[in-house]
Structure 1
Amino acid sequence: MIYEYQEFKLNSVLSRYIDCVWTESYTQRPENKGRTYLVVPDNTVELIFTSGTLERKIKDGLGKVEVLGSHLSGLKTIAQDVKVDGEMNLSVRFKPHGLYPFIKPRLQETINQSIPIEDLFGKDILELESQLFETHCLLDRVRHIETYFLKRLLTLNRQADATFDYLINRIVDGRGAHRILDLAEETGVTIKTFERKFLQNLGVSPKQCGQLIRLFHTLKATNKASQVNLTSIAHDNGFYDQMHFIKEMKKFTRLTPGEYLKAPRELQMPIFTRN
């Protein structure tokens, strides 16, 4: 369990897009240094400021390994192996659909990718990084982040896509169970427009978005329950049967449900156990 994990909420304008700013000391403990962690899709987009490096290995058939300093970790659809070397100073956790107002429309390029911060946000974010490294007060660091993203929101002035926001909120509220055709008919948009909006503003299709949201609630159920009944969890989260559950778990996490329960999960516990 991570005992020294803290979250900070931002003001109401930014909270539409940014879930929280967070920090933890778990990876800095002597017994955890140099460890490699399995990180499964968790329905988050993370902007990580670090004075060291993070090594991310994505087992997508290419065996791709990236070693980066401060970077954005895009929405994950496959598991990653992550090794932390150095201090994770502070991280900004975007809602999965919350990145699009802050960058140019290139969301598909961020899926399963780790991107240096200046490549997405420009050179001015390096000023923010320096401020964070030089500031000792945690609350002042959070204020620096808040100021930067409020200014960026106003400067870019990208209009919110009301239709997209409505559709994704419906999928989130329904835990991924809504039929895409039903939602398209409800809002009067074509399937083609539906797909385009999600690829443009989220980076994945509506169908895959629904699958990731369902996976998130499934993993949350396995992490919060004191007694885990995989059959009940599969049924409660809309899987047709046990084989469907196992197939989807392996697709997104590389593990069967049983293997996932036995795997070390401490690093992502704050995400999967929060209310």
Structure 2
Amino acid sequence: MMEYQTYLPHKDLSSIVKCYWTLKVEPSESKGKQIIVPDGCIEMAFLLGDGIKRFTNDDCFVLQPNTMVIGQITKPFTIEPLGYVNTFAVRFYPFGFSAVHSAGMDKLKDKETDLSELFGSRVVSELINQIRAAKDTKERIHSIENFLFGLIKEKSNQERVVQMAIDTLLKSQGSASIRSIGKLNSNKIRDLERKFLKQVGVSPKQLGKIIRLQTAIKLMLDEKDKSLTQIAYDSDYYDQSHFIKDFKQVTGLNPSDFFGDKSFLLSTIFYQKE
């Protein structure tokens, strides 16, 4: 049985942190590969159980660091636990992690980065000790929030432009064009795209695609009697073939295989608990 829980952040962090989450899975239930579907967010994860493999292709894999940041995912992200899963994590909004670290978010895309590479081994070692010594999730959240409050920076005008664009994409379920975000000429559009890559990790178009796919998957889970054609229409896709193409590009499978494939079980739980 998978035990997945989400927790709200402190109100002063709620603009950058979407939630904290925990996942516990017994070894008998954690066997087999899982495909993580992109959600437009960056995660900071602490693996407190056994290790987890992430496959770079069908046969090759890397062992994920015990403390890591997982950047924007734009393609199938396949993992396989080695035993007991006990994970505590921070889910940042698309723009959120750039408020606590100045690295280009595009450098973190489609991979995991050891936390010590980003914040230094001494600071991270102290944080890990606090996370592991905590008696419960409440204490872990307290430790990670102290860490984040110590890192958060003042927002700049450039960051507000990116935030405005993200808000527009979210409100339109990913269908808004860059030009509709504001009165942008070609130079301003290119400037926004550069800021997006640095502060979000993907282009506005790519984030819009992920948000629209999220909308479609949630409809598939909540309204299982709907046809793929209706799902595509309700999610602002041009047509069913466009929806199928996007779905296959980021998951590796057709949407018709979504419910019958056990490798989507974890992603299904994540989406149903949103």
Fold shared per TM-score above 0.5: yes
Structure 1 residue 239: deviation in Å? 1.5
For residues 154-182 of structure 1, the C-alpha deviation after alignment (integer angstroms, 9 at most, x for no partner) is xx556471111111111111111111122
Per-residue deviation, 1:238: 1.5
C-alpha distance in 2, partners of 1:233/1:70? 37
Structure 2 residue corresponding to 1:50, chosen from 47, 50, 75: 47
Amino acid at match of 1:260: F
Distance apart, 1:64 and its partner CA: 5.5
Contact 2:101/2:151 (<8 A) preserved: no
Deviation, structure 1 residue 18: 0.8
Give CA-to-partner distance per residue, 1:91-150, whole Å, 9 cap, x none.
111112211011123111111011111112222122111111111122111111111111
Aligned partners of 1:66 and 1:114 also within 8 Å: no
What residue identity is the alignment partner of 1:135? A
User: Within 2, Cα distance between the matches of 1:31 and 1:228?
Assistant: 34
Out of 118, 121, 127, the position equivalent to 1:120 is 118
Please state how far the C-alpha of 1:219 moved relative to its aligned partner: 1.2
Task: Give the CA deviation at 1:8.
Answer: 1.4
1:167 counterpart = 2:165: yes
SS of 1:46's equivalent in the other structure is strand
Supply the AA of the counterpart residue of 2:251: T
Change (3 A) 1:249 1:226: closer
Q: What does residue 246 of structure 1 align with?
A: 244
In structure 2, distance between residues paired with 1:195 and 1:223: 32
Give the whole-Å Cα distance in 2 for the aligned partners of 1:193 and 1:83: 39
188, 199, 202: which one pairs with 1:204?
Answer: 202
| Identity over aligned pairs, percent | 26
8 Å CA contact 1:184–1:194 kept in 2: the answer is no
Residues 1:171 and 1:21: Cα distance change in structure 2 (over 3 Å): same
Question: 32-41 vs 247-256, which deviates more?
Answer: 32-41
Change (3 A) 1:232 1:177: same
How far does residue 229 in structure 1 lie from its aligned partner after superposition? 1.7
Question: Which position in structure 2 is the counterpart of 1:5?
Answer: 4
Please state how far the C-alpha of 1:189 moved relative to its aligned partner. 7.2
Residues 1:158 and 1:178: Cα distance change in structure 2 (over 3 Å): closer
1:194 to 186, 192, 199: 192
* Cα shift at 1:5: 1.9
Q: Aligned AA for 2:34?
A: Y
Equivalent-residue separation in structure 1 for 2:17 and 2:220 (angstroms): 25
**CA RMSD of superposed structures (Å):** 2.2
* Bigger mean CA offset, 81-90 vs 179-188: 179-188
How far apart, CA to CA, are the structure 2 residues paired with 1:81 and 1:186? 38
1:65 CA displacement: 2.2
Contact 2:23/2:85, CA 8 A, preserved across alignment: no
> Which TM-score applies when normalising by structure 2?
0.90
Query: How is 1:1-275 mapped onto 2 (pairs within 5 angstroms)?
Result: 2=2, 4-25=3-24, 27=25, 29-51=26-48, 52-59=50-57, 65-68=61-64, 69-85=66-82, 86-123=84-121, 124-153=123-152, 156-157=153-154, 159=156, 161-185=159-183, 190-264=188-262, 265-274=264-273
Deviation for aligned residue 1:186: 6.3
Q: 3-state SS of the aligned residue for 2:45?
A: strand
Q: Is the 8 A contact 1:77 1:252 kept in 2?
A: yes
CA–CA distance in 2 between the matches of 1:89 and 1:209? 26
- The number of residues matched between the two structures is 268
Provide the C-alpha distance between the structure 2 equivalents of 1:220 and 1:58, rounded to a whole number of angstroms.
Answer: 27
